[in-house]
Amino acid sequence: MIPDFRPDGYLPEGLHDATEADVTFRFGSSTLRRRRLIFRFRRWLKLARATRSRRFLLDGSFASRQYGVGTFTENTDYKEKQGLGT
């Protein structure tokens, strides 16, 4: 479950488990830019699943209440499997 935002518009510190539907509803529907970014997120998530990644970390302004969102930052163990760093 994704917790409520802090007063500054960001999530509380920590790791928060969420389904693809939770992320799509919470972060990917409020603006045209967010709707476009959610498709990129879903492609990355599909790749992570295809490589049997055990985790997918989503960070950046996308995972906030910010209106002028830039992009999202992802981190999967896919990079480690492919020798691309951590």
Each residue of 15-40: pLDDT tens digit?
899 999 999 999 888 888 888 889 98
Return contacts of 15-19, CB within 8 angstroms, 24+ apart: 15/57
Q: What is the pTM of this model?
A: 0.72
pLDDT at 59 over 90: no
| Amino acid identity for residue 15 in this structure | L
Three-point CA angle 8, 32, 13, nearest 5°:
25
Residue ranges per structural domain of the chain: 20-81
How far CA 43 is from CA of 7, 13, 40, 54, in Å, comes to 31, 26, 5, 16
